[in-house]
Structure 1
């Protein structure tokens, strides 16, 4: 009882503190925005004064400097007002000119056009509600989070797992992603997912799904993960709301594993005893299309020097070529590249195989 009371007091004390910190952060952000806004107003006014005093030395085009700074630093609430203010300053500067030529009117027209472009950009940016640099930072942070979440946790001695990801066109944003977790100290849960679309057009959906699938992977038993992921996608009701996935549940004590696929290319197993690769048959529909879908597992066991490949269709699919031929080629390349050390095998396979016009992901799990 004493512990419960103490924890409730701690929560009650921490909640006002967290609200106070959040309020303080917002006030500080608003203060910084207002400070930048005032500084840019003063800079624009100083330029106009300079044009009035030294018309031959300070060109009208100098007013584009605060406009550029404003487009980068001001939030959408302040930016439209600054553009209007700058337009007024531009008209005043024009009135102060003693000699106005056709070139001057041309420069004024270009500057007015630049003001309109920045104003239109601020209206689009108002949907996000932050300044340009802050919006870019948020997007980069989201990208870094998805890449970090795709990292595989440290495994016990005797086990190795590596992943590699390449997106179509070399962009850091991809529709393929990897989520992995140690559900217990002796069980690795790992999923390789291919979201519909490719590159940046699938990147936003991949950002959302990586967080959701990562939570499901850690919270649910292995036989329920793909079913829950399927239900989640169905509830999104996206026009292109489907994905394929392969899910591995590996017992790190015995080496026993279960592999389930959802409309995804099958996993491949190399048995050190025979030196041969075999495709693991598992069945299941694409995620997000069919309710109450059933996913049948492929069971097996990793012994010493065995390896398991999980990959997306970008590794084996190419235009006008059967996917089975692509799998055969991948396994042949894997046999060649994975002789000896398996270090860096995932990266080497991704660099050597697949279509450069599609996202590619590869995971190699091995036991030494």
Structure 2
């Protein structure tokens, strides 16, 4: 009880500080006035009590201004703070360093202004640009979440970006309508952050097409959308699967993507589901073949990107056999947690890797 009572004031202070920071981000004028007053207080304090309040405290308002203010307000705050700094070093004891302090403060101000100038191109001040990137990343992640499936079905998704980045050129969109599951695994050209922005744009567009256009029109419609973007030498590969959740029957269509593989629980064999089709964005009116099959009780269907099976020293065919070999060891556990484990063990470290596992469980 005493510990909680002692921590309560600290928590209240923390909440008040967070509230003030949020208000400062919303009201840039209030933040500018507050930081200018902080510079004044630090300047006067360093003159009155130089042994307790060093003049280097004037760096703090500039750093906070880089996080909270717009570029023009930050320039004004920098000028005000530098003026206070010059006044402080001009009137304090001549033994203390003067020129070096002003130069260091000016250098810090230049670094902060240069960083703020880059962020100002987005039209958002301070850390709002980074917050927007995090929100976009969360949006891309949320769009890859699978819908709720009826008993007897389980779908797992795992995506690993190249270089450990939180943005990936691989993404998944899905929907369920009229007892039909539609899943599309997309691999945008490029990898990591370079492909992340295009992946975010395409995930919204492709997700909107699922369940709206007829199943056989999804890839042609996605191709037309990609062609309209007029990207130079950019393309995407897709594997599109439609599964009837009542019968287990499915259709697979691919656009330049590695084929899906099916695990047959009755025979214990793995079967490649080839459905050749051209890359999206390169041809005006391509045709996409379909491969049909059925998931019986215990069967599983694997969709994966080329980062799971292809390396500079290994072609897709050998990589697919290697992936099936890794997945074979997970049959006994009913493929529970298999997506994350396969991405960690079979995914290539230098490329984006993604896998989707659709499993019709033997026992609901």
* TM-score over 0.5 for the pair: yes
2:247 maps to what in 1? 254
1:319 maps to what in 2? 312
C-alpha displacement of 1:240: 4.4
CA offsets per residue over residues 142-179 of structure 1, 9 Å max, x none? 11111111000010111111111111122211111111
Q: What secondary structure sits across from 1:245 in the alignment?
A: strand
1:244 maps to what in 2? 237
Do the aligned residues in 2 keep the contact of 1:338 with 1:345 (CA within 8 Å)?
A: no
Q: What RMSD, in angstroms, separates the aligned Cα atoms of the two structures?
A: 1.7
Q: Check if 1:351 corresponds to 2:344.
A: yes
CA offsets per residue over residues 50-74 of structure 1, 9 Å max, x none? 1232344432211111111111122
Q: Check if 1:207 corresponds to 2:200.
A: yes
1:22 maps to what in 2? none
Residue 159 (structure 1) aligned to one of 153, 171, 179: 153
Runs of 4+ with >6 A deviation? none
Q: Check if 1:138 corresponds to 2:138.
A: no
2:303 maps to what in 1? 310
Q: Check if 1:126 corresponds to 2:120.
A: yes
1:14 maps to what in 2? none
Give TM-score scaled by structure 1 length. 0.88
Give TM-score scaled by structure 2 length. 0.89
Do the aligned residues in 2 keep the contact of 1:76 with 1:130 (CA within 8 Å)?
A: no
What pairs up with 1:1-368 in 2 under 5 angstroms? 32-99=27-94, 103-182=97-176, 184-368=177-361
Do the aligned residues in 2 keep the contact of 1:318 with 1:354 (CA within 8 Å)?
A: no
Alpha-carbon distance in 2 for matches of 1:318, 1:339? 28
Seen in structure 2, the aligned counterparts of structure 1 residues 224 and 29 have a Cα distance that, compared at 3 Å, is farther
Alpha-carbon distance in 2 for matches of 1:253, 1:76? 59
C-alpha displacement of 1:204: 1.3
Do the aligned residues in 2 keep the contact of 1:48 with 1:89 (CA within 8 Å)?
A: yes
C-alpha displacement of 1:81: 2.2
Alpha-carbon distance in 2 for matches of 1:96, 1:58? 15
1:5 maps to what in 2? none
C-alpha displacement of 1:292: 0.9
2:6 maps to what in 1? none
Alpha-carbon distance in 2 for matches of 1:88, 1:56? 21
Aligned residues: 339
Alpha-carbon distance in 1 for matches of 2:52, 2:341? 59
Do the aligned residues in 2 keep the contact of 1:33 with 1:74 (CA within 8 Å)?
A: yes
**Gap runs ≥5 in structure 1:** 1-27
Alpha-carbon distance in 1 for matches of 2:73, 2:234? 37
**Gap runs ≥5 in structure 2:** 1-22
Alpha-carbon distance in 1 for matches of 2:201, 2:85? 45
Alpha-carbon distance in 1 for matches of 2:241, 2:80? 60
C-alpha displacement of 1:92: 2.1
Do the aligned residues in 2 keep the contact of 1:315 with 1:355 (CA within 8 Å)?
A: yes
Alpha-carbon distance in 2 for matches of 1:30, 1:105? 34
Alpha-carbon distance in 1 for matches of 2:43, 2:333? 71
Q: What secondary structure sits across from 1:78 in the alignment?
A: helix
C-alpha displacement of 1:206: 1.1
C-alpha displacement of 1:300: 1.0
Alpha-carbon distance in 2 for matches of 1:251, 1:98? 84
Alpha-carbon distance in 1 for matches of 2:71, 2:330? 52
